[in-house]
Chain A
Amino acid sequence: MSRATVELDFFGLEKENAARFRAVEPRSSIRGIQGEISRINPHLLRSLLAPGGGSAAFHPAASAGESCRPFLSPPPSPLPVLSPASSRTSNESLPGTAPLTIFYKGTVTVIDVPPEKAEIIIKFAEDANRIGLEEGLLEKFNGDLPMARKKSLQRFFEKRKERLTALGPYEEVEVRKEKARKVATMDVVTVSNF
């Protein structure tokens, strides 16, 4: 694939919402995109896309904001939106930019950003994620820390699960063993994403 695509799954809802997933054609319409963006935390987006960020695709033009008001959901302040000047109907990105796909609460947004901007957005989202979670944990903290599992036993449970969910009784023994072995050597993060 010649384009670099960065995916950011805020709440891991991709699995749950697979059925509801609306495949959005890249740049299907400015209106659609603006609608999606409007559902993202406006403060978050705005601070990221503030002038001086260097992206040719965005600028928080007041006039642009006004013209988009009909598409904004609850947030009171106008969102920075795609300026009409940068709207494109073709599927080509601006030079130096690549599509950034954001999955959020069952909706999908694709925006073209240069790599540095993408990094900033991702880092910001991760930080916001971590801080939010940290606060949550600190609050819970009077003895609400869940029990940790021993590594050896956890590996056993994963292997057991793998054996139980191995494909049908007609599958070759070797294939099944190989699958089990492959899973066993993958790190736990990837296994848990199955």
Chain B
Amino acid sequence: MEQWRMNRVMSFGISDVALECVMGYIDDPRDREAVSLVCKKWYHIDAISRKHITIAICYSTSPGRLRRRFPRLESLKIKGKPRAAMFNLTPEDWGGYAGPWVGEIADTFNCLKALHFRRMIVKDADIGVLVKARGHMLQALKLDKCSGFSTDGLLLVARSCRCLRTLFLEESSVTENDGEWLHELAVNNSVLETLNFYMTELRISPQDLELLARNCRSLISLKISDCDVSDLVGFFRTATALEEFGGGSFNDQAGEINRYERVRFPPRLCCLGLLYMGMNEMHIIFPFAASLKKLDLQYTFLSTEDHCQLIQRCPNLEILEVRNVIGDRGLEVVAQTCKKLRRLRIERGDDEQGLEDEHGRVSQIGLSTLAQGCLELEYLAVYVSDITNAALESIGTFSKNLSDFRLVLLDREERITELPLDNGVRALLRGCTKIRRFGFYLRPGGLSDMGLGYIGQNSSNIRYMLLGNVGESDLGLLQFSRGCPNLQKLELRSCCFSERALALAVLQLPSLRYLWVHGYKASPTGSDLMDMARPFWNIEFIPPRQCIASHEFEDRRGGVESPAQILAYYSLSGRRTDYPESVIPLYPPA
């Protein structure tokens, strides 16, 4: 009797069925986490009704644990290698193998419809196991910046996954055997909506693309690798529902002025990114520039002036990605024209002389103008050549919707107008209260210890930070780590902190569950790092090594020394069992 009454009280008089219904409307993982902590019953109902899980680092848990916790998952996203892998800073064999996960998915996750592996190693055999077990119900498969598989694996997907609405392979390293997979996809699938093999080296035939467009009438997004745009005329004519296109390429041949005149883009196209587009071809976008919502110019050959010419025709732009060749002048045009802009990424251009426009520099001038002009900005990532505190204050004043801000100060100019940026960053963080992801990469002298303390004090909502060349001493780090109450993931690069200070900071940051450090005051034995040893905290050490394709030095040796890295993360699974030679596990002990 007593027990029954307690149960009713604990569930607030709501039946289990009703509870399950209600919980179905709660999507935010943090809310779900809170719900699961109320009582056993709520924990259980959350567990069986949870639809999606993102595992930020695959070694933080195990496939078996995931299955026991959330047996009815419909969608799973798993990340492997540290973000640094995108910059060639992580050994290729570091880990992040999809195999164990695929095995568990095939055996037990009977409801899984969507799978997303990011920066992981996926073998053809893994794909085989996956499609054999789940191919018939898989609706979305994303192999995002992955490696280890070939077009044979893709062939398996194409043949077995007839319900696939999304196939995403962007920036994966795929071993190419042939282009059959695309043909098979075109022949076997009629519901595909999104196909992405952007930034891969896959070679495909335009005829197969056209076939795909004919069979998949719902195709709304296609991003491909290198394929001359003039060969895509047929595809564009057929893919009438297409809203997004990326890839293709322009090959400027002498004497073929009208090569691209025949190209007509589909009527609903509003997201575009064309490779190697130059000034001479730019005009083919003009007819529909006004309807563009998303534009990617990172891989084009446009000058500063070209950017101005193009962007001034795009008043409805919401997402813009460019290199810093856009310059302050281009940003002025953006500020005047793109009032609906929500996301802006300004990437780093080439350093080599003569290859980038000399006006192609972004500074405090462009930033301030931008902040004042584009009040809807939510995401801003920018490589600047010069900066002042006032520009940062400007952002703090105007960009009230900013949730993701990343600034990198390029190292080419000797003199920066105003350093340190202590006051500017404080004003920015105080003004932009919604920031959850923050990147601040400077140079020595860019931020004092006090400035680093300011960041700590004013980052109450920030979950992720990348900091480079900040602070002057261990004191700065310790001040910083007294703040940041919600910081979960911290990446530090090129800083002067000692191992002892790093360990102490880790122990102080209350929400920290992931740390990556590259470039710090390393000791010969790394013994001070053990100060942060604690239960469930995995500490990995990657010793200094030759890393291929680190391009900072004009490297004649075919590789450059990369200093030591530390990677530490919470894990319920204990020590990894698949460490390569390039990684040394410091904790837990074997």
B88 touches A189 (CB 8 A): no
Chain A residues within 8 Å of B43, by CB: none
Q: A151-B86, A164-B355 are in contact. List 20 more A-B contacts (CB 8 A).
A: A9-B556, A130-B546, A134-B561, A137-B544, A137-B563, A141-B496, A141-B522, A141-B563, A142-B496, A143-B444, A145-B518, A146-B552, A147-B408, A147-B552, A148-B552, A153-B298, A153-B347, A156-B298, A159-B276, A160-B276
Chain B residues with CB under 8 Å of A143's CB are 443-444, 469, 494-496, 519
Whether A169 sits at the interface, judged by CB under 8 Å, is: yes
Per the CB 8 Å criterion, the residue count for chain B at the interface is: 55
- C-beta contact mask, B322-356 vs A, less than 8 Å → 1, else 0? 01000000000000000000000001101010010
Q: Does B69 contact A (CB under 8 A)?
A: no
> Whole-angstrom distance between the alpha carbons of A164 and B444 in the complex?
36
Question: Which residues 158-194 in A have Cβ within 8 Å of B in the complex?
Answer: 159-161, 163-164, 169, 173, 177, 181, 184-185, 187-189, 192-193
Question: How distant is the Cα of A73 from the Cα of B330 in the complex, in angstroms?
Answer: 60
A-B CB contact pairs (8 Å), 7 listed: A137-B561, A138-B563, A143-B469, A147-B411, A150-B87, A150-B348, A151-B171
Tell me which residues across on chain B come within 8 A of A160, comparing CB atoms.
Answer: 276, 301, 350, 355
Cβ–Cβ contact A187 & B276, under 8 A: no
Q: Which of A12, A15, A160, A177 has the most CB of B within 10 A?
A: A160
- In the bound complex, residues from chain B placing their C-beta under 8 Å from that of A187 are 548-549
Interface residues of B in 430-446 (CB under 8 A from A): 441, 443-444
Q: Is the CB of B548 within 8 A of A188?
A: yes
With A153-B348, A189-B558 in contact, is A173–B548 under 8 Å at CB? no
Question: A137-B561, A137-B563 are contacts. A148–B555 as well, Cβ < 8 Å?
Answer: no
In Å, the complex CA distance between A153 and B381 comes to 15
Is B20 located at the chain interface by the 8 A CB criterion? no
CB distance from B304 to the nearest CB of A (A): 17
Complex contact B552–A141 (CB within 8 A):
no
Q: Within 8 Å CB of B411, what residues of A? A: 146-147
A188 to B276, CA, bound (A): 20
Would you call A148 and B544 a contact (CB within 8 A)?
A: no
Q: Which residues in window 278-318 of B have CB below 8 A to A?
A: 298-299, 301
> Are B557 and A141 touching (Cβ within 8 A)?
no
Q: Once the chains are docked, how many angstroms separate the CA of A67 from the CA of B365?
A: 72
Contact of A148 among B87, B251, B521 (CB under 8 A): B87
B88 touches A151 (CB 8 A): yes
- State the CA gap A161–B444 with chains docked (Å): 32
CA A3 to CA B276, docked complex, whole Å? 46
CB nearest neighbor in B for A149: B551
Tell me the bound Cα distance from A160 to B521 in angstroms.
38
Q: Which B residues from 49 to 92 make CB contacts under 8 A with A?
A: 84, 86-89
Question: Min CB distance, A13 to chain B, in Å?
Answer: 8
Q: Are A130 and B561 within 8 A (Cβ)? A: yes
Q: Which residue of A lies closest to B553 (CB)?
A: A146
Q: Which of B203, B350, B522, B548 contacts A138 (CB 8 A)?
A: B522
**In the bound complex, how far is the Cα of B546 from the Cα of A192, in angstroms?**
15
Taken together as a complex, chains A and B put the C-alpha atoms of A164 and B276 apart, in Å, by 12
CB of B253 within 8 A of chain A? yes
A160-B355, A193-B558 known; A152 and B563 CB under 8 Å?
A: no
* CA gap between A147 and B355 in the complex, in Å: 19
Do the beta carbons of A177 and B494 come within 8 Å of each other? no
Partner of A169, one of B201, B254, B443: B254
In chain A, positions 71-125 with a C-beta closer than 8 Å to chain B are none
Indicate if A157 sits at the interface (CB-CB under 8 A).
yes
- Say whether B493 faces chain A, with CB atoms less than 8 Å apart: yes
Question: Is B410 in contact with chain A by the CB < 8 A criterion?
Answer: yes
Beta-carbon nearest neighbor of B85 in chain A: A151
Given A145-B519, A148-B552: A134 and B494 interface contact (C-beta under 8 Å) = no
Find residues 350-372 in chain B having any chain A CB closer than 8 Å to their own CB: 350, 352, 355
Nearest 10 CB-CB pairings of A with B? A12-B556, A146-B552, A145-B494, A148-B87, A188-B549, A145-B519, A143-B444, A143-B469, A142-B496, A189-B558
What 1/0 flags go to A1-34 for Cβ under 8 Å of B?
0000000010111010000000000000000000
Q: Report if A133 contacts B (CB, 8 A).
A: yes
Whether A161 pairs with B563 at a CB distance below 8 angstroms is no
A residues in contact with B559, CB < 8 Å: 189
Interface bits B533-560 vs A (CB < 8 Å: 1, else 0): 0000000000010101111110111110
User: Which A25-81 residues sit within 8 Å CB-CB of chain B?
Assistant: none
Within 8 Å of chain A (Cβ to Cβ): is B106?
no
Q: Are A11 and B556 in contact (CB under 8 A)?
A: yes
How far in angstroms is the closest Cβ of chain B from A184? Answer: 6
- B416 / chain A contacts, CB cutoff of 8 Å: none
Are A192 and B493 interface neighbours, CB within 8 A? no
**Which of the residues B444, B549, B550, B561 comes within 8 Å of A144, measured between beta carbons?**
B444
* A177-B251, A188-B548 known; A157-B469 Cβ under 8 A: no
Are B551 and A154 in contact, with the CB atoms below 8 A? yes
Q: How far is the CB of B133 from chain A (nearest CB, A)?
A: 32
B86 pairs with A134, CB closer than 8 A:
no
Task: Report if A150-B86 is in contact (Cβ < 8 Å); known contacts: A134-B544, A137-B544, A189-B558.
Answer: yes
CB distance from A34 to the nearest CB of B (A): 28
Q: In the assembled complex, which residues on chain A have CB atoms less than 8 Å from the CB atom of B520? A: 141
Chain A CB within 10 A, most for which of B323, B520, B551: B551
Known: A149-B348, A185-B201, A187-B548. A133 touches B495 (CB 8 A): no
* Per-position 1/0 for B213-248, Cβ under 8 A of A: 000000000000010000000000000000000000
Within the assembled complex, what's the spacing in Å between the Cα atoms of A133 and B553?
13
Contact B347 A150 (CB under 8 A): yes
Min CB–CB distance B256 → chain A (angstroms): 9
Q: Does B199 contact A (CB under 8 A)?
A: yes
Nearest to B441 among chain A residues (CB) is A147
Pick from A133, A146, A173: contact of B251, CB below 8 A. Answer: A173
Contact B548 A133 (CB under 8 A): no
Given the known interface contacts A153-B298, A157-B350, the answer about A184 and B201 at a Cβ–Cβ threshold of 8 Å is yes
Asked whether B555 lies within 8 Å of A192 as measured between CB atoms, the reply is yes
**From B228, which residue of chain A is reached at the shortest CB distance?**
A177
| Most-contacted residue by chain B among A143, A149, A153 (CB, 10 A) | A143
Asked if B87 and A151 sit within 8 Å, CB to CB, the answer is yes
**A137 CA to B463 CA, complexed, in Å:** 32
Interface residues of B in 7-29 (CB under 8 A from A): none
Q: Which residue of A lies closest to B409 (CB)?
A: A147
Q: Within the assembled complex, what's the spacing in Å between the Cα atoms of A145 and B518?
A: 9
Complex CA gap A8/B469 in Å reads: 36
Tell me the complex Cα distance, A134–B562, Å: 9
Q: How far is the CA of A184 from the CA of B352 in the complex (A)?
A: 19
